[in-house]
Amino acid sequence: MNDIVTVEVTDDIALVIISNPPVNAINQKVRSGLMTAFQTVDQDNNVRAVVLKCAGRTFMAGADIKEFDEPIAEPGYHEVFRVIESCSKPVIAAMHGTALGAGLEAALACHYRCAVENARMGLPEVSLGIIPGAGGSQRLPRLIGAKEALEFILGGVTVSATEAYKIGILDRVIKEDLMEGTLEYIGSLLADGVGPRKVSEMLVDKSGYGEEFLVDARKLSARRLRGQNAPNLVIEAINNAVNLPFEEGIRKEKIIGDKALVSKEAKALRNIFFSEREIGKIPGISSDTKRMQINNVAILGSGTMGGGIAMNFANAGIPAVILDVSEAVLQRGIAVVRENYENTVKRGRLSKSDMVDRMELISGTTDYNAIAESDLVIEAVFEDIDLKKKVFKKIDGICKPEAIIATNTSTLNINQIAAVTKRPEKIIGLHFFSPANVMKLLEIVRAEKTSPEVLATAIDTAKRIKKIGVVAGVCFGFIGNRMMAEGFHREADQMLLEGASPQQIDQVMYGFGFPMGPFAMHDMAGVDIMHSILKTTGKKENNREPYFNVLYQVGELGRFGQKTGSGFYRYDEGSRRPLHDPVTDALILQEAERLGIKRTTIENSEIEQRCMYSLINEGAKILEEGIAYRPGDIDVIWSYGYGFPRFRGGPMYMADQIGLETIYEAVMSYRDKFGDYWTPAPLLETLARDKKTFADWNIA
């Protein structure tokens, strides 16, 4: 044993206690301590039963992911869990908080499992490109059946203790005190003379686990985890549980697991995992930085975005009032909110009572004075800087002095908006992504005079409403939209003029791993959004280095996408399926001719490279300018906000894998061919010259 794993014996019950804060992650010290502890209690004749529990706020929340890039130090998971399962006394896992990954696998190695009612558990390894490789792929099918085990693992979700009990993972759900309930359960086991019950010795229930089920499972995984190989490895491991003795299945699980652990896919997914955990580390912000209390919010605008933002706060139990210009507009917006909740209830993801509770937290008003005491006010009006300035100037005189006022702008200069108020230090950008009640990303834009207190409060608020909050600086489009507009999508638009079609480019980007291509995305989001930005920001240029010439012309025709039945594609009434439209072809040809661009065939490989290298080059500029703090911040934004395939690790991580020298040389060749707008970012040039990576770079 060691100071992380201790044993306490009370009467004839041994408590094996893990204390490895903050989340009791399983590392070498935990494994070593567990092995010694269980060897000790197994030899103690005074011990009749063993409880495996954890100190602190949670059970074991998984393996220590920092060990994944190195060979697992001995003792390994299989060896330790075999010792637990082989104990001659009944071993009961007592779970609270979260039991995830290897934490749940440790519980599966115990003979019985209890959990407090609000505990949650799951095997989310597939989201990291790996399999449950600590015995989970072999024990879970024996415990709950092969079909149920495969669905549980491929789903990658956490379930409540009640649900875990229903599907057979738990033996008892404890409604009151965890230890009191666990000891009561142990007493009943001992009174009945029940001894150890090894999951490894159970027979696998194969009901429903046939070829038809596996075909459907593969199709579902291919849609949900497109481009990832981990689901196939999970199926292989479960098949081994079905067809092989336990020890042989465990041996093959280790082979499969070790292979998955070092795959490019798993390493890329780990980059997103680690980057997500770094985003809250902001220079000048610490745990000592004062925070403001956000007990209520006001949202200006009841449109799709405003209503979605209100839902985020209601979901977190925070009252939200929506302000709009007329009662009719307001009621339409609130009706959409209600419809969204009703659809969630129909899908079984929300109870009716919870819906009622959340709707009661959302109110509407047409009176600006109703927001006077709001702690946080979020403006979500039309993307026009003059309108936003007018709104901010008005509410600055109404809101209480300590209130934070945020703008949901996706592109505009927040410093200019803040300048019209008497509280620039309390102005911040909170850029929600549409649909705001679904998308997890939140760009937190620090203006020039935003105070540390306001920034820290915004970061904490993002966590409170379960958003991935990434801090950005002020520039056109901040991080995500700037990279999209100044790089990826602009280059795609340019290639339309040079010879590609919307269908070809969209197919290439879909094949790359995006959920949809750039032109299908414009049609879905609304072509009018970028068209308006081009008009109001002066980004539109009529020269050899065009800025969304085709998109601009599509917008000029009022072809705003799905909502108007035509954009880059046409749409049948009531359908979202994009169809080829000769009108778009003619428009592209006309615009190319007007600009004197000779169209030719563009290979798919060039489309992918130009879209991605322009994106990466703009990301390098953003890093050097300090708009983003870390390369990983960019990777998180593009993963969560723009559908960048997670199995590629984000654009900046992908760039490091390709090699910055290779990218720099390609960018230089495109500059020579197409002009100065392809000039390499100075940071890209420096890192390529020094044979370094974005991961080597640090703004400090």
Is-contact 588 578, C-beta < 8 A? Answer: no
pLDDT on residue 540:
61
Is-contact 433 465, C-beta < 8 A? Answer: no
pLDDT on residue 533:
82
Return the CATH number of 297-472, one of 1.10.1270.20, 3.40.50.720, 3.40.50.1370, 2.60.40.10.
3.40.50.720
How far is it, in rounded angstroms, from Cα 54 to Cα 42? 19
Beta bridge partners of 53: 17
pLDDT tens track for 515-570: 999 999 999 989 998 888 887 776 665 444 567 899 999 999 999 999 999 999 99
Is-contact 650 272, C-beta < 8 A? Answer: yes
Q: What is the mean pLDDT of residues 488-509?
A: 96
Q: Which helix (H) or strand (E) holds 665?
A: helix 660-674
How far is it, in rounded angstroms, from Cα 90 to Cα 407? 58
User: Catalytic residue among 105, 253, 383, 591, which?
Assistant: 105
Instruction: List the beta strands (DSSP E) in 326-448.
Output: 362-365, 376-379, 404-407, 427-432, 441-446
Q: Tell me the Cα Rg of the chain.
A: 28
- Tokens 């480019």 locate to 505
pLDDT on residue 112:
98
pLDDT on residue 564:
94
Domain boundaries, the chain: 5-262, 297-472, 489-696
Whether 8 sits among the annotated catalytic residues: the reply is: no
Backbone angles phi, psi at 112, to 5 degrees: -145, 155
pLDDT on residue 75:
95
State the architecture of 5-262 in CATH terms: Alpha-Beta Complex (3.90)
How far is it, in rounded angstroms, from Cα 153 to Cα 146? 11
How far is it, in rounded angstroms, from Cα 332 to Cα 303? 8
Is-contact 272 649, C-beta < 8 A? Answer: yes
How far is it, in rounded angstroms, from Cα 151 to Cα 153? 6
- Tokens 């529990």 locate to 53
How far is it, in rounded angstroms, from Cα 121 to Cα 102? 11
- Write out the two tokens for 384: 């026009």
How far is it, in rounded angstroms, from Cα 267 to Cα 662? 21
Closest CA to 6 of 37, 44, 27: 37
Q: How many CB atoms lie within 10 A of CB 201?
A: 10
Closest CA to 554 of 623, 493, 482: 493
How far is it, in rounded angstroms, from Cα 45 to Cα 27? 29
How far is it, in rounded angstroms, from Cα 611 to Cα 632? 20
pLDDT tens track for 89-127: 999 999 999 999 999 999 999 999 999 999 999 999 999
Q: What is the mean pLDDT of residues 363-386?
A: 95
Beta bridge partners of 442: 432, 469
Task: Quote the DSSP letter at residue 46.
Answer: T
Of the CA atoms within 13 Å of residue 456, those in its CB half-sphere come to 14
Q: Assign residue 119 a region (left: φ > 0; alpha: ψ between -120 and 50; beta: otherwise).
A: beta
Is-contact 645 269, C-beta < 8 A? Answer: no
At the top level of CATH, the class of 489-696 is mainly alpha
User: Catalytic residue among 125, 148, 253, 486, which?
Assistant: 125
Closest CA to 442 of 297, 279, 210: 279
pLDDT on residue 70:
79
pLDDT tens track for 589-636: 999 999 899 999 999 999 999 999 999 999 999 999 999 999 999 999
Q: How many CB atoms lie within 10 A of CB 148?
A: 19
Whether 125 sits among the annotated catalytic residues: the reply is: yes
